[in-house]
């Protein structure tokens, strides 16, 4: 993954065991990278996976069909939904 910020002004410091450091150094050497480049690329790759997993919803075909049908033909809001919306507006607007 390419680093988008060209200015490198931020730092992250971490403490790790000797064994973990040796393993990271070994992996960096195998990939022909500096330890910093290896740690940064590994962390960014994992961060992208975590964010993508958090932002993505995977549905089975049947569930996806129901979801899109509900979007295209929504039900009218019932009393419980109206109460919930009123409460939400009260809480959010009161901040």
Enumerate the domain spans of the chain.
Answer: 18-93
pLDDT for 23: 98
Which own/partner pairs from 88-95 qualify as long-range (CB within 8 Å, at least 24 positions apart)?
none
For the cut 90, the answer to whether the pLDDT of residue 55 exceeds it is yes
The model's pTM is 0.59
Mean pLDDT in residue range 15-39: 97
Residue 10 CA, chain-centre distance (Å), reads: 20
């Amino acid at each position: 993954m390419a680093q988008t910020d060209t200015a490198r002004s931020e730092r992250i410091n971490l403490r790790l065991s000797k064994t973990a450091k040796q393993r990271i150094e070994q992996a960096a050497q195998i990939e022909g990278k500096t330890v910093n480049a290896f740690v940064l690329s590994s962390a960014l790759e994992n961060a992208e996976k975590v964010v993508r997993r958090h932002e993505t919803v995977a549905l089975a075909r049947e569930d996806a069909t129901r979801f899109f049908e509900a979007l295209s033909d929504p039900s009218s809001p019932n009393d419980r939904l109206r109460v919930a919306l009123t409460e939400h507006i009260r809480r959010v607007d009161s901040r």
